[in-house]
Amino acid sequence: MNEMALLEAVLFVSPKPLSLNEIYSSLNLTSDNTISILSKLNKKYDADESGIELVETSNGWKLEAKSEYTDKISHFSRHTDLSKGELKTLSLITFKEPIKQSDIVKIQGNKTYSYVKSLIDRKLVNKTPCCRTKLLKTTREFEEYFGIDIKKIKEKLKKEFKNENNKNIVN
């Protein structure tokens, strides 16, 4: 059996990123062999005119669509189940975390409360009491949901906020 094709298929069907340990133990591969195959897959997708790329997140490895195709394919994604208000709230939390809920209310208004409740219910955000408000942070489920490392998301958000001249958010 072609080990590279098998690993590729496993990454394709997995609903979450897979750690090296999960990959090599479930496929009966050695650690070195798994790393070698991942490297070959990475080169394949880099050289190929593919819409897919192999990505290493903080939670493991996964296949995902290349970012240059996001605008064309986003309506097919599961991320469309979040409203624009929830996405805006989540982006503020991600960018400035930890952030007080009262600071987000100052930017977005009172609808923030329902957005935050929804994000907490989805386990994308954690809350901790802080004086008379809540301190909000993203969770590990947040990274799994979006399938990308939090640092990369923050870099993208910083560029986006600067492009929109949102100085009150960036500073």
Q: What is the 3-state secondary structure (H, E, C) of 65-122?
A: ECHHHHHHHHHHCHHHHCCHHHHHHHHHHHHHCCEEHHHHHHHHCCCHHHHHHHHHHC
* 3-class SS shares of the chain: helix, strand, coil, % to 5: 60, 15, 25
Per the prediction, the chain carries an average pLDDT of 85
Residue range(s) of every CATH 1.10.10.10 domain in the chain:
3-67, 77-170
Model confidence at 168: pLDDT above 70 = no
* Percent of the chain topping pLDDT 90: 44
What is residue 40's predicted lDDT score, i.e. its pLDDT?
93
What is residue 79's predicted lDDT score, i.e. its pLDDT?
57
Q: Which CATH number fits domain 77-170: 3.40.1790.10, 2.130.10.10, 1.10.10.10, 2.30.42.10?
A: 1.10.10.10
For residue range 140-156, what is the model confidence (pLDDT) as tens digits?
888 878 777 788 888 87
Q: Is residue 77 very low, low, confident or very high in pLDDT (cuts 50, 70, 90)? A: low
The domain over range 3-67 is classified in CATH as 3.40.50.300 = no
Model confidence at 166: pLDDT above 60 = no
Model confidence at 2: pLDDT above 80 = yes
Q: Is residue 170 very low, low, confident or very high in pLDDT (cuts 50, 70, 90)? A: very low
